Structure 1
Amino acid sequence: MKKLTRLEKYHMNKVSQRSPGKVVAVTPEAMEIESRAIDRENRGHYRIAARLWLQCMDVAIGEVERARIAVRRQQCITMSNHIRQGEYSGIGCRGVVYD
């Protein structure tokens, strides 16, 4: 494993946690899961993407990396709450339900 420079250490520990930016994950395992999560986001599957971000957070090493992933996961959860798919006719309903 290579040693990190001062600048790399600074960016791992001190970078702003508010906006995720383009680079979210740093570790290779987390980058694999990140690519799958971004693919799901592009398809509009925000709940699945939020679960993948949670898996990505489990694999991540640094606190800044985890904070970036948490911000991205929260964005997915927010987007998934705005989606309404299909119609709801009630639990155990056998006929037509009128409003």
Structure 2
Amino acid sequence: MKKLTRLEKYHMNKVSQRSNGKVVAITPEAMEIEQRAIEREKRGHYRVAARLWLQCMDVASGEVERARIAIRRQQCITWSNHTRQGEYSGIGCRGVVYD
């Protein structure tokens, strides 16, 4: 394993969390899980993607990396709450319910 220089350590810990880069994870294990999570997001499986982001966070090493993963996971959770559409005409509906 390569020792990090002072400048590399600085950039690992102080990089902005608001960057819109496509790469969220840095460690190789986290990058593999990240690719699976992104594929699930493209399919619209946001809850599964949020679980994969959580696994990715477990494998991640730096605090900045974990923070970026947490932001992405929160976005998936938010998107998953908006995907369900349709009407429910069951208990508690105001209109007429037909059997």
> SS at 2:4's partner residue?
coil
Residue 29 (str. 1) matches residue 2 (str. 2): no
Contact 1:25 1:69 in 2 (8 A): yes
Shift in Å at residue 22 of structure 1? 1.3
- Which residues of 2 match residues 62-77 of structure 1 at below 5 A? 62-77=62-77
Give aligned pairs, total.
94
Normalised by the length of structure 2, the TM-score is: 0.82
The aligned counterpart of 2:82 is: 82
The structure-2 alpha-carbon separation of the partners of 1:37 and 1:66, relative to structure 1 and needing over 3 Å to count, comes to same
Deviations 1:2-32, CA, capped at 9 Å, x for gaps: 1223332122100112345212111111111
Relative contact order (alpha carbons < 8 A, sep ≥ 6): 1 or 2 greater?
A: 1
Deviations 1:38-70, CA, capped at 9 Å, x for gaps: 000010100100000001001101000000100
Moved over 3 A (4+): 85-91
Aligned residue identity for 2:5: T
Q: What's the Cα RMSD here? A: 2.0
Quote the Cα distance in structure 2 between the aligned partners of 1:45 and 1:36: 11
Residue 50 (str. 1) matches residue 67 (str. 2): no
Quote the Cα distance in structure 1 between the aligned partners of 2:45 and 2:19: 21
Quote the Cα distance in structure 2 between the aligned partners of 1:51 and 1:10: 30
Sequence identity of aligned pairs in percent? Answer: 89
- In structure 1, the gaps of 5 or more residues are none
Quote the Cα distance in structure 1 between the aligned partners of 2:97 and 2:53: 38
Aligned residue identity for 2:69: I
